[in-house]
Amino acid sequence: MFKILKAKDKELKDSFRDNFKKENIGYFIKELIIIAKPCNFESKKSLLIRDRIILGARNQQLQERLLAKEDINLETTERICRSSEVTKIQGRYLQGEKIYPTRNN
């Protein structure tokens, strides 16, 4: 019984997974795909991952931009998020901030 409760607790926690502060979007998406593998989402898998990306976004402007799009799919969501992330990093660089390449820029 305890194992079932622990498994359900992890499943519930995973369903609320957000993009962590220093985590890049590519890593966040990979984590969501890993979390979704054991679930029985079937044809809804892409839509649910897309929704979690949008709802878990740290940047409110990006989130609003994604929500304003009609018929947005996972690929478009990922492309817009990656573009936004790169633009943000380039902006920091142009402002004179030193940018060090890491997996979590």
| Tens digits of residue pLDDT in 24-44 | 878 888 888 887 887 777 788
Flag whether 100 is in a domain. Answer: no
Percent of the chain with pLDDT over 90: 27
Q: To 10 degrees, what angle do helices 45-56 and 25-36 make?
A: 140
| Torsion, CA 45, CA 51, CA 53, CA 57, rounded to 10 | -170
Greater confidence (24 vs 13) lies with 24
Query: Is the pLDDT reported for residue 97 higher than 90?
Result: no
How many domains are there within the chain? 1
Query: Is the pLDDT reported for residue 65 higher than 60?
Result: yes
Per-residue model confidence (pLDDT) at position 2: 39
- Mean pLDDT (whole number) for 43-70: 90
Flag whether 101 is in a domain. Answer: no
Q: What is the distance of C-alpha 50 from the center of its chain?
A: 8
